[in-house]
Amino acid sequence: MLSKILRVLLLLSFGGAMGIWSSAYVLDNYFSQDVLPVTPHSLEAVEFNHGMWMEGDPVAEVYGIPGDEKIRVVLPDESKLLNPKEDPNLTLMLIDKQHGDNPLQVKTMWFIAKRAAAAALILGHILLFTSIALRIQKRRKKR
């Protein structure tokens, strides 16, 4: 009975590791988007900046204070995304950290997924060795 429970737990731990890894892969490749984070200006400031903006000026600064580099976000909130008419190829994400905006970045998701999968694999190996030890002990008792 105990060996059957160990086998089920063993399969669940190795399957869990694969599930964690494949879920992270799917989220990264199919449900994530590269965005430039921008701390938004007020509507009045954006309107003023539109009037002052000239061809060749940075587009992101019209809408707020841009981050240093693009980030990849998992399941971005569509209401926070903005493709400016000045540069439709650019995707801005309006993030106001003072109001609790903190989107899940792909690098954070992978950080967690790698460690969770590693923990599941370690548990699987412990269960595997325990199962083997119990089988050896059971065979020795039969002799």
Mean pLDDT by 10 residues, the chain (143 residues): 86 95 97 96 92 90 94 95 93 91 96 97 94 89 78
Structural domain including 45 reads 2-142
Q: Which residues of 55-78 are buried (b: 16+ CB within 10 A; e: fewer)?
A: eeeebbebbbebbeeebbbbebee
Instruction: Report whether 120 contacts 20 (CB < 8 A).
Output: yes
Structural domains of the chain, count? 1
Angle at 56 between CA 52 and CA 57, to 5 degrees: 45
